[in-house]
Amino acid sequence: MNNLVKKCLSLECLIAVTSLAMIGLTSFYLLANYMVKSRQPDTPIYEPGTQFATFKEKLKDVNAIGYLTNKDMSEEKNDGTFLQAQYMLAPTVLELNETHPNLNILDYTSPVYTVFTMRSLRSKPIASSPYGPVLAEKQP
Amino acid sequence: MILYLPFLLAFAIGSLLFQWIKRPSLQINASLNAMLSMALGLGLCATLTYASLFVFGGFHRTGILGLHVGLLIILLIPNLKPFIQNLRSIKWTMSWLSPLAWLAWGLVAYVIHFMALTHPYGEWDAWALYNMKTKFMIAAGPQWQSIFNDLHWYTQPDYPLLLPSINVFHHAISGQDIPAVPMSTSIVLALMIGWLLFAAIREITGTIVAFAGSLVLMVNPFYIFQSTAQYADTLLGYYLLASIVCIHLTFLKHSKPMALISGLMLGYMTFSKNEGIVMSILLIIMFGLYTFTRRLPLVRKRQALSLIGCLLIGYLLTSSPTIILKLFIAPKNKDIFGGLSAVHMKFLNWDGFMLIVNAFKYELTHKRWAFIWGFLAFLFVAANRKIVYKECKIYLTFFVLYMTVLCFIYLTTVNFELSWRLKSTVHRICYYLLPSLLFFCYYALFRKKLDDRISS
């Protein structure tokens, strides 16, 4: 009897019981999490950079293109669209706000800026995304 | 099943290598043997794949396959007989707990898999950095090195490449693509951390405590979310835990092969993330200092000092890809210490320090962690003075020093807003430190008891 009490009050037993209690508590959180997620089975999941996917075919075997934008591309203010484009179009290198490449993605806040940039670069659109960005090629 | 074939290959290579380095006299439990073999094999396969990109001038599936099959055969020849003998000598003891444990782990594996499917492309840094680089390594041919020179600095061109290399190895063996490759890697790593924690705690105390200790981590919803986010933090957490476990085995068994394996794990850690470099250096310094200052008879002191040499040899072997990457290939890091060229560090003051303290306070008490940090605090208090018993001092000092270094890195932020940096990184730091902190607390609790048992 004494041995049993001693065993029950041992450090090992105490830690095991506390750990099991913790597992019980955490499992409740996990179950709640699981139930919330499993009730949204039809929520569509988009690949990052889907808005640039239409340019993929035009960029086969192209090493580098420009990515011109007037959006705030600082890391704090969502460099996301640039990185999303880079992810989607890899292994093509995107050069942020560099105009020297022959092909450029124009991702502006308004179509007016896009048209203005195309004119100043003497380029023509070769593909456009329904989400706004345009892929333009410089004219000889 | 094909998705998990690369991990089986890595495990086979790791087991043979582990068997080859470790002497038969070194007895550790079968689960720990398996988990450390996996860590060793995965690191080796990734490093070999990374090296193959230089050798073949880009991704070469047949080359990578040939290299790994060749390595497997090379390791099989001298190890087959002892390996089979070792397999036979393993005693698989089944208790009433075993079916229950496998059922619980099976459920956890299902939930991890389910959660991974809810964000198959991973979170921000995963697709923006690691998966994007994986695409370059697979599809850019000889131009794959653009990731160091031509990509924008937002893509962190200087980051070590262990995770993308694992994914490239996975792709070469399984033939699967993104997002299936990084997703299955994250699932496997999430399980491996839990099982490694179980195996490591089991080495010092009873199975029930070990099982409960590992399950506390594995059922944590935020741990599962972060693990399936496909960040390199999971890999860092995995190798940090493996390194600490190996260092503990080195001291416990006074074993040179184990010191070598500790070095190998520390080296892999450097190739997982920049933080891994800092952590490995701190752990080596702590290891060395503790060994030097231990009061031992002269003969044993010499033996103990030889452990440092073995550890350093292992470390040099596996950290060489990081050393070469940092010295000769990758550009300088702009985030740490302001690229060492900042004129004005606006957060290097008391307000900046308080901002960091408050960010950690907020994170550790956040309900998404389901009180796991409170539980850890309880273990810490329960351990009491045992927290500085023998080699526990190494780990405690390591954690304190690492937090000091992190604090300094935060205070010298120049390229971003500190509050934004804290918001996007503190939870990840807590995540990769958590498995090792859990192990440390359990270790401190039962380490002295282990000595008492041996002496009696």
Cβ-defined contact of A12 to B114 (cutoff 8 Å): no
Q: What is the ipTM of this complex?
A: 0.90
Q: pLDDT tens, B224-258?
A: 999 999 999 999 999 999 999 999 999 888 889 99
Identify which of A15, A79, A87 has the shortest CB distance to residue B445.
Answer: A15
Query: Which of B247, B361, B374, B362 is CA-nearest to residue B315?
Result: B247
Distance CA B37, CA B441 (A): 24
Residue B274 to residue B336: CA distance in whole angstroms: 10
First-residue to last-residue Cα distance in chain B: 49
User: pLDDT tens digits for A5-61?
Assistant: 766 677 888 888 999 999 999 999 999 999 988 887 778 889 999 999 999 999 998
User: Which residues in chain B are contacts of A90 at CB distance < 8 A?
Assistant: 132, 135-136, 139-140
In this structure, of B100-114, B238-252, B357-371, B412-426, the range with the lowest mean pLDDT score is B412-426
Average pLDDT, chain B: 90
Q: How confident is the model at residue B304 (pLDDT cuts 50, 70, 90)?
A: confident
pLDDT at B264: 97
Q: Among A31, A40, A86, which would you mutate to test the B interface (most chain B Cβ atoms within 10 Å of its Cβ)?
A: A86
Distance from CA of B424 to the nearest CA of A (A): 10
**Residue B337: pLDDT over 60:** no
Cross-chain residue pair A26–B372, CB shorter than 8 Å: yes
Q: How far apart (Å, rounded) are the C-alpha atoms in residues B296 and B300? A: 6
CA torsion angle for B151, B152, B158, B161 (degrees, to 10)?
Answer: -50
pTM above 0.90, yes or no: yes
Q: Which is nearest to B16 in space by CA: B70, B55, B60?
A: B70
